[in-house]
């Protein structure tokens, strides 16, 4: 579940990202759209269940079997100490953010290193029965389509290698360049399709150091990419393995990054091979076609899919996001668009990168582009090679990959700072195409224009190290693993630009989450990935449309490192909300996202023109361009209908201050198409207020109002209107409802002279206070040794000792008290982690919320991970006039983004915190992370904030009592447990720590759910009408407890149904034991044979619907079988049992499952002896 309450206050860019689009899951088809009717079957890389041999197709998602001659998986995951039950290698699910995928590793032949069969993990290979799914025995001949997304891993959990036959050399480290695979055993490999009538084709991700056996020096591939059955004629052949056929079928690329493959296979009607294979990659319209020879490899009698690593002599590792199939050879639906009627007026097709010197005009690339402008310093060089004159860092070049040519541009930052001077430093690589010379009007954007480009941010291939602007002291930096994007700069310049000679430019850029508008990697970080363009700033051309300047960001989130196709129309905004209306269609979709945009004044040529590249010296960026096309006029893509929808008279205005909450949000919706009432929504701070809207009118004109606003709140969000055709029109909202007379205290007005303060100071009252008394450690804690007396504009100066630094912020919050003298508004600056300041005031407010007005940047911990600036607020609980004061924590202010914003005091779950302030109170602000600038604090009456959805904090499973990490839980929380418990004592705990436990059976065998506060009380849940809170033993049970901190109540759900209540809240957080209580002692443990199939903790309260959903999606638990009775009836033996019935001719086995058996099972005693067990 995704929290809707993690809204960031004050940064329109981030709010737009968070509030409008769900997170893109790795398990969705990223590059190709699903075929009509969907896939017949697809494994989504999110389950790795293990079923022992003999249980059939019951592994992974419950439809795969590893019971075949090509597998020795013991069911273990990768990592941990090797031994029985955890041999080297294995299979597991890995989760990165919201994405999950399956990782399989075969480390070689662990038998040579002392780990014998069965279950040595020398082969990890599973099959999915397609015949059982109803496909034909000749599925490959008839035609079949495969889809998979995969890579060879290079990091994360990976075991050392145990190369086949190389035990004399010992185990070997996992290769830095990954460990791939080559075809083996007559058509087996990473991804296999086999038809029951005979014939198998395998596709494998191969690295340059792979070999078909354990010897690292024998028959090395020297190839990286996709390999499959080698060609060997038109009859099924066993000689299709690596190095056996007459020619290799390969597609070169880097297999260690994610790639998506769409593959069709069909009988070769020309009889060159057995089958024709077509391979599409990563959403490309182009495909590679091969004549292939099927092999005889077979592991199941049916038609099937298979995946993994099957050959004992090889070692390999593989990440699988998804693997699916569809009956029939179905070509992918192009995620591109048909050309408009009459074709494009002009198109750069990404196949030429000619260089013309300055002064030669529009003669570069395909001969119609110029880099002779103030936004370019390209020296004509390509990317890569030794740096020097004529080859400065970065550049431009053509790359050919999978039959596609494209232009790559890289601007590494500002090489001048690293010794590579102008001209030709490559600090800007930016080219323009003259549209006026092509006959376009001076008002092309006003009249209407259509753009089409396909692009991505590269993440591999030739890329130079970065030379970040102004960061030369830190040296060059490696190219970011997540790519290097761009944000709008210089009044409407970016990756793809349209500018009209009459004035006005709009730029579209591919942006990654770590981009900044300057070289400092910690300043004003985007925290967004996708398409960004001019920020909205009214209906007149404005220079304030760059990143972070406008009143709201225009963005579409997605992964910019994979290819995307954009069809964009631009025309004058006749409603005069912005300067232009921009409609963006993506990846073949005919439903646009519509924005009101503000054009900027950026200009590099006097004409109307197109431009592309990276134009701002402070930024660094890389960009791949397949094509960039233009046509005069507004043209919808084929199959789309343009519906003009406007959001008019939207109030409050963007950035409005002290809004009266009773006035609410109001607007009009007009459309020349139908807008159903239910397609109108307002999202604020992540919550959908659609059900609270008042809507009057008809489907072509609506008047809408939302009156349920709270006082003293910052609101970020948007209005969303969706047409019946699916098109989305949105307009941003950003305002606050603070009272203008709310109590504030300035960050620069910290206590002085050891605990003194002024309760309601006028502007300037603190100017000369505290300078003559050194109150370090009492009124503040400053880590720097010396005060910066060079800062002549500082607010307060120490005459003895030191004190925090201050600088004027120019009345950045536009407060009336500083209207006459903006420079008198100061912030505390140059803060460091561990510093603190005390503020004593007299309060009468009672319950309150506290807001900090500050500038919070993104900060770097250990130089790698990006964190968030954090200020902790404490209440001083001892004498504030002496040293060694004691404190209690009230909450934290957390933020990022680089601009001044309103930051609320929150608890550890991100919920706005309510505190009680009465009488004289000393508050302490302590820097926990980063170096934020602090302007002032505002205390408002507490408001009730609508609860957002619960957020998953931690999860796991266990087979015995043990301590786990529940994560940080504060306030509302929910606890989910799915377990089978065996009774072992007078009291049984589900989970607990040294102070508190959740009881399955309350002391002393009361047979009821309860809680225990050790040394205080044993409590029982009270059943709701018609339900039971009786203990459940010996069978799987799903339990959820929802703890409501506000009401001090906890609600018990058993198997998805609300069953009981307890008048108390659950305090478990951090280190907690599951299947028992007390961290070090064996208290109230579940008995032997118990299992915690799954547990999870959530910040916030799960709803009844969410609890029911968790119960319905609980993992399958296979219970151990047992024979309960054996009887004679009508001359037959009748066996009643649970589990799987198995039989054997001798008592020692081997036992095999009885086909078609169900309890009670009746069998005629015709054999001399037959033995039965149930498992």
Burial of 676 (0-12, 13-18, 19+ CB in 10 A): exposed
Cα torsion angle, 140, 143, 148, 150, sign? positive
The answer to whether 262 and 147 have CB atoms below 8 angstroms apart is yes
Cα torsion angle, 415, 416, 417, 420, sign? positive
Is residue 89 one of the residues assigned to a domain?
A: yes
Burial of 940 (0-12, 13-18, 19+ CB in 10 A): buried
Cα(455)–Cα(496) distance, integer angstroms: 10
Q: Are residues 118 and 196 in the same domain?
A: yes
Q: Per-residue b/e over 892-908, b at no fewer than 16 CB within 10 Å? A: bbbbbbbbbbbbbbbbb
Confidence (pLDDT) at 24: 28
Is residue 24 one of the residues assigned to a domain?
A: no
Longest CA pairwise span in the chain (Å): 108
Provide the whole-model pTM.
Answer: 0.61
Cα(378)–Cα(901) distance, integer angstroms: 38
Q: What is the 3-state secondary structure (H, E, C) of 882-894?
A: CCCCCEEEEEEEE
Which whole number is the average pLDDT over 893-913? 83
For β-strands 200-206 and 225-231, DSSP reports them as: antiparallel
Confidence (pLDDT) at 319: 97
Which two tokens mark 759? 């309760």
Q: Are residues 760 and 717 in the same domain?
A: no
**DSSP conformation class of 204:** E
Domain stops at, among 718, 736, 754: 736
- Whichever domain contains 849, its CATH number is 2.60.120.260
Domain stops at, among 606, 632, 658: 632
Cα(558)–Cα(572) distance, integer angstroms: 27
Cα torsion angle, 628, 629, 634, 640, sign? negative
Domain stops at, among 1068, 1084, 1112: 1112
Backbone φ and ψ of 393, nearest 5°: -55, 140
- Closest by CA position to 669, among listed 705, 707, 701: 701
Which two tokens mark 756? 């003194």
Cα(388)–Cα(346) distance, integer angstroms: 36
Confidence band for 862, pLDDT divided at 50, 70 and 90? very low
Is residue 332 one of the residues assigned to a domain?
A: no
Collapsed DSSP state (helix, strand, coil) of residue 281: strand
- DSSP-assigned beta bridge partners for residue 1161: 1135
For β-strands 593-597 and 728-736, DSSP reports them as: parallel
CA angle 767, 869, 856 (to 5 degrees): 55
Q: CA dist 16 to 525, 532, 917, 1148, Å?
A: 15, 11, 34, 67
> What does the pLDDT look like over 630-650, one tens digit per residue?
999 999 998 888 888 999 999
Q: CA dist 442 to 163, 439, 458, 574, 606, Å?
A: 68, 9, 34, 18, 10
- DSSP-assigned beta bridge partners for residue 656: 735
| Number of CB atoms found within 10 A of residue 697's CB | 14
Is residue 18 one of the residues assigned to a domain?
A: no
Confidence (pLDDT) at 1120: 65
Backbone φ and ψ of 1019, nearest 5°: -120, 155
Confidence band for 29, pLDDT divided at 50, 70 and 90? very low
Domain that holds residue 1169: 1122-1174
To the nearest whole number, what is the mean pLDDT of the chain? 89
The answer to whether 41 and 128 have CB atoms below 8 angstroms apart is yes
Cα torsion angle, 379, 381, 384, 386, sign? negative
Radius of gyration in angstroms for the set of CA atoms belonging to the chain, rounded to a whole number: 33
Which whole number is the average pLDDT over 364-384? 93
**DSSP conformation class of 13:** H
Collapsed DSSP state (helix, strand, coil) of residue 363: coil
Q: Are residues 546 and 604 in the same domain?
A: yes
The answer to whether 377 and 426 have CB atoms below 8 angstroms apart is yes
- Closest by CA position to 113, among listed 178, 173, 161, 180: 161
Confidence (pLDDT) at 21: 26
Please determine, for residue 867, whether its predicted confidence score (pLDDT) is greater than 60: no
Which two tokens mark 696? 């009057």
Q: Are residues 104 and 227 in the same domain?
A: yes
The answer to whether 1095 and 978 have CB atoms below 8 angstroms apart is yes
Q: Are residues 323 and 295 in the same domain?
A: yes
Residue whose tokens read 């010897």: 215
Confidence (pLDDT) at 23: 26
Confidence (pLDDT) at 22: 25
Q: What is the 3-state secondary structure (H, E, C) of 732-801?
A: EEEEECCCCCCEEEECCCCCECCCECCCCCCCCCCCCCCCCCCCECCCEECCCCCCCCCCCCCCCCCCCC
Dihedral angle, C-alpha 359, 364, 369, 372, nearest 10 °: -30
Is residue 14 one of the residues assigned to a domain?
A: no
- Closest by CA position to 429, among listed 477, 478, 378, 480: 378
> What does the pLDDT look like over 295-334, one tens digit per residue?
999 999 899 999 999 888 999 999 999 999 999 999 997 6
Give me the numbers of helices (H) and strands (E) for the chain, helices first please. Answer: 4, 68
In the chain, what percentage of residues exceed pLDDT 90?
66
Q: Are residues 149 and 179 in the same domain?
A: yes
The answer to whether 984 and 1086 have CB atoms below 8 angstroms apart is yes
What is the helix (H) or strand (E) element at residue 669, kind and residue range?
strand 665-671
Q: Per-residue b/e over 518-549, b at no fewer than 16 CB within 10 Å? A: bbbbbebbbbbbbbbbbbbbbbebbeebbbbb
The number of residues in the chain equals 1175
Cα(610)–Cα(631) distance, integer angstroms: 11
Q: Are residues 1043 and 1002 in the same domain?
A: yes
Cα(137)–Cα(155) distance, integer angstroms: 40
- Whichever domain contains 609, its CATH number is 2.60.120.200
Confidence band for 101, pLDDT divided at 50, 70 and 90? very high
Q: CA dist 678 to 681, 684, 716, 829, 1059, Å?
A: 8, 17, 22, 48, 35
Confidence (pLDDT) at 642: 85
Is residue 724 one of the residues assigned to a domain?
A: yes
> What does the pLDDT look like over 677-714, one tens digit per residue?
989 999 998 788 888 999 999 988 999 999 989 999 99
> What does the pLDDT look like over 1049-1106, one tens digit per residue?
999 999 999 999 999 999 999 999 999 999 999 999 999 889 999 999 998 899 898 8
Cα(1062)–Cα(1020) distance, integer angstroms: 7
Residue whose tokens read 């993104």: 858
CB within 8 A of 741, min separation 6: which ones? none
Q: Are residues 673 and 768 in the same domain?
A: no
Which two tokens mark 22? 């769900």
The answer to whether 355 and 431 have CB atoms below 8 angstroms apart is no
Is residue 334 one of the residues assigned to a domain?
A: no
| Number of CB atoms found within 10 A of residue 930's CB | 23
> What does the pLDDT look like over 979-995, one tens digit per residue?
999 999 999 999 999 99
Q: Are residues 292 and 424 in the same domain?
A: no
Residue whose tokens read 């050790």: 1014
Dihedral angle, C-alpha 109, 114, 120, 123, nearest 10 °: 0
CB within 8 A of 21, min separation 6: which ones? 556, 557
Q: CA dist 323 to 17, 28, 351, 517, 1027, Å?
A: 30, 11, 33, 39, 43
Q: Are residues 610 and 689 in the same domain?
A: no
The answer to whether 980 and 1091 have CB atoms below 8 angstroms apart is yes
Q: CA dist 746 to 419, 743, 1097, 1156, Å?
A: 45, 10, 39, 78
Confidence band for 1119, pLDDT divided at 50, 70 and 90? low
What is the helix (H) or strand (E) element at residue 289, kind and residue range?
strand 287-292
Cα(421)–Cα(220) distance, integer angstroms: 45
Which two tokens mark 1129? 């009836």
E strand segments, 402-529: 404-411, 429-434, 449-456, 496-499, 505-511
Q: CA dist 527 to 411, 522, 586, 1058, Å?
A: 21, 11, 22, 40
Confidence (pLDDT) at 438: 97
Is residue 90 one of the residues assigned to a domain?
A: yes
The answer to whether 1115 and 1045 have CB atoms below 8 angstroms apart is no
- Closest by CA position to 7, among listed 777, 623, 653, 527: 527
Q: Are residues 1100 and 1126 in the same domain?
A: no
Confidence (pLDDT) at 682: 93
Q: Are residues 892 and 1025 in the same domain?
A: no
Confidence (pLDDT) at 384: 95
- DSSP-assigned beta bridge partners for residue 467: 413
Confidence band for 865, pLDDT divided at 50, 70 and 90? very low
Structurally, the chain folds into a number of domains equal to 6
The answer to whether 1042 and 1056 have CB atoms below 8 angstroms apart is no
């Amino acid at each position: 579940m995704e929290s809707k309450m993690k809204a960031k206050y004050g940064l329109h860019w981030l709010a737009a990202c968070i509030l409008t689009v769900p997170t893109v899951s790795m398990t969705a088809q990223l590059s190709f759209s699903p075929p009509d009717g969907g896939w017949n079957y697809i494994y989504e890389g999110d389950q790795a269940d293990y079923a022992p041999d003999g249980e059939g197709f019951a592994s992974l998602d419950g439809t795969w079997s590893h019971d075949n001659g090509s597998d020795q998986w013991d069911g273990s995951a990768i990592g941990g100490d090797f031994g029985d039950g955890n041999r080297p290698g294995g299979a597991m699910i890995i989760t990165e953010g919201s994405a999950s995928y399956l990782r399989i590793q075969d480390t070689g032949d662990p038998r040579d290193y002392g780990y014998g069969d069965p279950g040595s993990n020398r082969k990890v290979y599973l099959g999915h029965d397609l015949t059982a799914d109803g496909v034909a025995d000749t599925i490959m001949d008839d035609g079949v389509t495969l889809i998979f997304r995969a890579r060879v891993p290079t990091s994360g959990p990976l075991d050392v290698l145990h190369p086949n036959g190389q035990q004399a050399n010992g185990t070997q480290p996992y290769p830095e360049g990954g460990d791939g695979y080559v075809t083996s055993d007559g058509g087996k490999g990473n991804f296999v399709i086999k038809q029951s009538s005979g014939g198998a084709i395998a596709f494998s991700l191969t690295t340059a150091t792979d070999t078909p056996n354990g010897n690292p020096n024998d028959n090395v591939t020297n190839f990286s990419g996709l390999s499959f059955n080698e060609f060997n004629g038109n009859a099924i052949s066993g000689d299709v393995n690596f190095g056996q056929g007459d020619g290799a079928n390969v597609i070169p690329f880097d297999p260690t990054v994610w790639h998506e493959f769409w593959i069709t296979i069909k009988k070769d009607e020309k009889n060159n091979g057995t089958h024709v294979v077509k391979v599409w990659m990563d959403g490309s319209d182009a495909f590679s076609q091969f004549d292939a020879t099927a092999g005889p490899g077979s592991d199941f009698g049916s038609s099937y899919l298979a995946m993994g690593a099957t050959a004992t002599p090889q070692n390999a590792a593989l990440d699988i996001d998804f693997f699916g199939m569809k009956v029939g050879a179905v070509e992918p639906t192009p995620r591109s668009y048909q050309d408009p009627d009459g074709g494009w007026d002009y198109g750069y097709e990404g196949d030429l990168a000619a260089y013309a010197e300055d002064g030669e005009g529009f003669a570069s690339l395909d001969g119609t582009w110029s880099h002779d402008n103030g936004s370019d310093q390209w020296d004509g060089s390509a990317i890569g090679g030794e740096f020097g004159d004529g080859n400065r860092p970065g550049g431009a070049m053509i790359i050919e990959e999978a039959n596609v040519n494209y232009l790559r541009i890289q601007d590494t930052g500002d090489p001048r700072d690293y010794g590579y001077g102008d001209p030709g430093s490559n600090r800007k690589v930016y080219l323009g195409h003259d549209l006026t010379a092509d006959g376009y009007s001076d008002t092309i954007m006003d009249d209407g224009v259509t753009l089409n480009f396909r692009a991505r941010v590269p993440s591999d291939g030739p890329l130079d190290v970065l030379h970040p602007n102004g960061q030369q002291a830190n040296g060059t930096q490696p190219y970011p693993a997540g790519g290097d994007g761009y944000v709008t700069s210089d009044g409407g310049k970016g990756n793809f630009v349209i500018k009209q000679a009459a004035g006005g430019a709009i730029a579209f850029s591919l942006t990654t989450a770590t981009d900044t508008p300057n070289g400092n990697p910690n300043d004003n970080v985007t925290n967004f990935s996708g398409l960004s363009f001019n920020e909205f700033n009214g209906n007149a051309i404005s220079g304030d449309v760059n990143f972070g300047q406008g009143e709201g960001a225009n963005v579409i989130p997605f992964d910019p490192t994979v290819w995307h196709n954009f069809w964009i129309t631009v025309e004058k905004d006749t409603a005069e909300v912005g300067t232009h209306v921009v409609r963006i269609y993506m990846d073949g979709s005919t439903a646009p996202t519509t924005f009101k945009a503000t054009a900027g004044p950026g200009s590099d040529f006097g004409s109307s023109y197109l431009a592309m590249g990276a134009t701002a010296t402070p930024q660094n960026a890389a960009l791949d361009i397949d094509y960039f096309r233009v046509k005069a006029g507004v043209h919808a893509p084929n199959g789309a209908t343009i519906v003009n929808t406007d959001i008019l008279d939207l109030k409050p205005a963007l950035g409005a201050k002290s809004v009266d909450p009773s006035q609410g949000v109001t607007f009009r919706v007009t459309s020349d198409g139908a807008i159903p009432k239910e397609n109108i929504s307002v999202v604020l701070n992540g919550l959908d207020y659609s059900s609270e809207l008042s809507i009057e009118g008809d489907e072509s004109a609506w008047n809408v109002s939302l009156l349920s606003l709270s006082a003293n709140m910052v609101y970020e969000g948007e209005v969303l209107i969706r047409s019946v055709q699916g098109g989305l029109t949105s307009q941003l909202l950003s305002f606050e409802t603070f009272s203008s007379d709310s109590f504030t205290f300035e960050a620069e007005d910290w206590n002085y002279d050891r605990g003194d303060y002024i309760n309601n100071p006028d502007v300037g009252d603190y100017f000369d206070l505290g300078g003559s008394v050194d109150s370090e450690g009492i009124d503040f804690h400053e880590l720097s040794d010396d005060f910066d007396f060079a800062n002549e504009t500082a607010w307060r100066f120490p005459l003895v000792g030191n004190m925090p630094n201050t600088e004027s912020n120019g009345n950045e919050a536009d407060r009336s008290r500083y209207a006459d003298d903006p420079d008198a508004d100061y912030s505390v600056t140059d803060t460091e982690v561990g510093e603190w300041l005390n503020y004593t005031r007299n309060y009468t407010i009672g319950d309150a919320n506290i807001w900090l007005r500050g500038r919070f940047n993104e900060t770097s911990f250990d130089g790698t991970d990006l964190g968030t600036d954090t200020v902790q607020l404490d209440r001083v609980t001892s004498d504030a006039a002496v040293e060694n004061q004691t404190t209690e924590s009230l909450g934290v202010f957390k933020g990022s983004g680089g601009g001044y914003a309103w930051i609320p005091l929150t608890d550890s779950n991100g919920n706005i915190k309510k505190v009680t302030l009465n009488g004289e109170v000393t508050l302490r602000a302590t820097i926990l992370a980063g170096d934020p600038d602090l302007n002032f604090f505002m205390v408002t009456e507490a408001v009730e904030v609508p609860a957002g959805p619960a957020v998953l904090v931690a999860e796991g499973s266990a087979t015995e009592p043990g301590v786990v990490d529940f994560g940080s839980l504060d306030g509302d929380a929910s606890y989910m447990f799915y377990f089978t418990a065996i009774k072992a004592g007078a009291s049984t705990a589900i989970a607990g720590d040294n102070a508190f436990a959740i009881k399955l059976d309350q002391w002393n065998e009361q047979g009821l759910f309860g809680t225990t506060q050790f040394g205080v009380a044993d409590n029982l849940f009270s059943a709701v009408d018609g339900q039971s809170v009786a203990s459940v033993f010996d069978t799987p049970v799903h339990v959820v407890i929802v703890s409501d901190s506000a009401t001090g109540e906890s609600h018990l759900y058993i198997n998805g149904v609300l069953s009981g209540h307890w008048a108390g809240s659950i305090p478990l957080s951090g280190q907690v034991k599951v299947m028992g209580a007390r961290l070090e002692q064996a208290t109230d443990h579940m008995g032997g044979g118990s299992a915690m199939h799954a547990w999870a903790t959530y910040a916030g309260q799960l709803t009844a619907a969410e609890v029911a959903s968790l119960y319905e999606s609980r993992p399958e638990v296979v219970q151990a079988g047992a024979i309960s009775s054996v009887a004679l009836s009508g001359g037959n033996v009748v066996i009643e049992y649970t589990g799987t019935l198995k039989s054997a001719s001798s008592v020692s086995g081997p036992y095999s499952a009885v086909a078609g058996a169900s309890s009670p099972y009746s069998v005629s005693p015709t054999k001399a002896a037959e033995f039965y067990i149930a498992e």
